[in-house]
Structure 1
Amino acid sequence: MTAPGGSAEAGNRTGAGGREQEAGRPGGGAVPVEVLTIGRVGVDVYPLQVGVSLREVETFGKYLGGSPTNVAVAAARLGRSSAVITRTGADPFGAFVHDALRAYGVDDRHVTAVPGLPTPVTFCEIRPPDDFPLYFYRYPKAPDLEILPEELDLAAVAGAQLFWATATGLSAEPSRSAHLAAWRARGRAPYTVLDLDYRPAFWPDERAARERVRAVLGQVTVAVGNAEEAEVATGTREPHRAALALLEAGAELAVVKRGPDGVLGMTAGETVEVPPVAVEVVNGLGAGDAFGGALCHGLLAGWPLERTLRFANAAGAIVAGRLACAPAMPTVDEVLAVLGGGRPDRGPEDGR
């Protein structure tokens, strides 16, 4: 993306992170990345006290956040070149996003600032094993919903080996039009992934989300989500029927994450179910993003579907056993250790 309000004739731009970019051709025509994501970004502010309400929490940790951003981080931790298309506020938290992305090895050239809008902040409460309420502060509007179609680097979008978008990006304009433009540029090239990613706070109701998602399923090749998200997209919560509905709507691979019941993957010629990985849950919020990054890795590696889903499942379990999201994303060796019979370990940020 060029800088806000920029043009191809405007010369060099400097983004919120301070790095010069060639307007109209971010990165000066760099080699396309393997994994390119688009959409939500922000700062996660997580309590360092577990099992208590926010009114009682005394100290917090600050982390990079936003589902598609975390997927890019997860893919990078697994050795994939990755980048994210998103927007932040022109504020210190926006600068933090750039710093964090670079530290994790994620290309930030497509991250630009929106003057006048603050970088979003998200708080959560940590109540293991399955209660992690989220509080989104994305007011008056999140900058990542101000991604403009005319500022997309469509060559980068088309050239990425895997392009990952989320349903949240369809919830408001101009982000929705930018997503549609990106999918047109890809022309259903493999792999074009839609994370069903349903967050009730971002939509007027489930019906609106279902209509938007159903309208674009024919433009993607992979659809992935948990049981609730699959129900929002298809109208049925039964995993097999939901996966079949996603295929009938246009996806070539449907993946339904079922929590303690494992994962279901379905194509026109294959149905695979893999069991869950046992883990002592610390914070389940980043598990789906770790799963996503690992799914990208397996797809790009050309693995069989069962191997890909087992690998992704193990990656998700590792992060569920750690406090943070982005810093908790595992390496290949950590995932293979779990698949070999090891237990998911806790990361250093958990202090244990």
Structure 2
Amino acid sequence: MMSDTTQVVCFGEALVDMLSNRIGDSESGGPETFTKYAGGAPANAAVAVAKLGGKAAFVGALGQDQFGHFLQQNLADAGVDIQHIVTTDKAKTALAFVSLDEHGERTFEFYRPPAADLCFRPEDFRPELFKQSGILHICSNSLTEMAIAQTTAYGVQQASKSGWITSFDVNLRHNLWPEGKADANRVNHLAQQCQIIKMSTEELDYLAQGHKDYLTQLLQHKPELILITDGARPVQWYTKADQGQLSPPKVAMVDATAAGDAFIGGLLSCLSAKPMHSNTLTEWLSGHELEDDLYFACCCGAHAASIKGAFSSLPDPDSLQPFLNQGANHA
């Protein structure tokens, strides 16, 4: 990619995924152990963009602890700009203990809240951040408490005022919410303020809550592209004027961790390589590049699903090429 690519700024949580050595309920191989991996959905997306050659920054708060230092080092090593990270001694860096079933699907046990990422406040956004062109990417885990939700909304407002493209990966983790389930109204309200929305079929069912015209109503607000993922099944896409679907490459899934983040990161890396801002997004959506870029994103997701871990499973151009070759005639 060219050196003057648009910066993709990913805001929210970076955390440490502690991945179990066990697959399913098997207790063979001795005691259960956990290996630490850098993770967190927005951080994963930033690394996905950077590893593909894009210009990526991560914005958020980390604890002044060994896990916070570990995450900063991993982000920097991946080529992500970390100058906008703030550190705090008010809370520790979040942890997520991750178990895998025999199909590579995950269950999470979070050590959050309290957590450092929830301590980020509007004044922590540096004024110079929004002075250049950019794309802001967020996830719903920065909506779980009112203070961080207000901070996230502030970031979206500042990005929109600056003519940035705004992207929202719903990425619901119900056990992070105080009530044990996500506040659908809060999530939907923020979704209405962003231009690109990604969610899974399960998340769609939860947010729609029986409203068959949910997607139509959402597209009447700011969203211009809605993406519905469903594991290895076809990705559904909707714009204000059209809709379609495309199938991702077939892979043997090893670990679903970061597959969705690789998908959205791949798409954002494509957008960042174009002379694009908020007002020209519609032109891209009506052009022939849309499905090509979405298939590129699908290949990124498939790549991540075929490798264990988060950052470690995200593709670079060379490792992605076999996946792209598999679907050379996808159109």
**TM-score, normalising length: structure 1:** 0.80
Residue aligning to 2:279: none
| Shift in CA distance, 236/280, structure 1 to aligned 2, threshold 3 Å | farther
* Cα deviations by residue, 1:110-164 (Å, 9 ceiling, x for unpaired): 112221311111111122315321111114x121111111121243145342110
3-state SS of the aligned residue for 2:128? helix
- Deviation (angstroms), 1:169: 1.0
The one-letter amino acid paired with 1:153 is R
Q: Does 1:76 align with 2:50?
A: yes
Alignment partner of 1:262: what SS?
A: strand
The answer to whether structure 1 residue 315 and structure 2 residue 289 are counterparts is: no
- Partner residue of 2:71? 97
Instruction: Check conservation: 2:104, 2:254, Cα contact below 8 A.
Output: no
Inter-CA distance 108–57: structure 2 relative to 1 (3 Å threshold): farther
Tell me what 1:5 maps to.
none
1:18 corresponds to:
none
User: How far, CA to CA, are the matches of 2:242 and 2:88 in structure 1?
Assistant: 45
Aligned to 2:278: none
Q: 1:95 to 1:207 in 2, by over 3 A?
A: closer
The within-5 A match list for 1:50-129 is 50-52=23-25, 57-129=31-103
Q: Against the structure 1 CA distance between its residues 230 and 299, is the aligned structure 2 distance closer, same or farther, given a 3 Å change threshold?
A: farther
The 3 A distance-change label for structure 1 pair 178 and 264 is: same
**Contact 1:158–1:185 at 8 Å: present in 2 too?**
no
User: Cα RMSD between the aligned structures?
Assistant: 2.5
Alignment partner of 1:306 is 2:278: no
Code of the aligned partner of 2:315? P
Question: Which of residues 307, 312, 318 is equivalent to 1:327?
Answer: 312
Q: Deviations over 1:222-259 (max 9, x none)?
A: 11111122233332597xx5543431343111111122
Runs of 4+ displaced beyond 6 Å: none
Contact 1:190 1:221 in 2 (8 A): no
Say if 1:121 and 1:136, in contact at 8 Å, map to a contact too: yes
CA contact (8 A) 2:130 2:158 kept: yes
**Percent identical across equivalent pairs?**
28
Matched to 2:49, the amino acid is A
Instruction: Pick closer, same or farther for the CA change 1:80–1:95 going to 2, 3 Å.
Output: same
Cα separation, partners in 2 of 1:253 and 1:318, compared to 1, 3 Å:
same
* 1:225 alignment partner, one of 185, 199, 210: 199
Of residues 283-292 and 223-232 in structure 1, the stretch that sits farther from structure 2 once superposed is 223-232
After TM superposition, the structure 1 stretch with the greater mean CA deviation from structure 2, 47-56 or 200-209, is: 47-56
Partner SS state of residue 211, structure 1: helix
Cα separation, 1, equivalents of 2:26 and 2:128: 46
Whole-Å Cα distance in 1 between the matches of residues 260 and 233 of structure 2? 14
**8 Å CA contact 1:265, 1:305 repeated in 2:** no
Using the TM superposition, give the Cα deviation of residue 185 of structure 1 relative to its aligned residue in structure 2, in angstroms: 1.2
Q: Give the deviation of 1:207 after TM superposition.
A: 7.6
Q: Which amino acid aligns with 2:137?
A: W
* TM-score in terms of structure 2 length: 0.85
Of residues 229-238 and 170-179 in structure 1, the stretch that sits farther from structure 2 once superposed is 229-238
1:336 aligns with 2:321: yes
5+ residue gaps, structure 2: 275-283
The Cα offsets for residues 75-132 of structure 1, whole Å up to 9 and x where unpaired, read as 1011011111111111111111111111111111111222131111111112231532
Alignment gaps of 5+ in structure 1: 1-30, 343-352
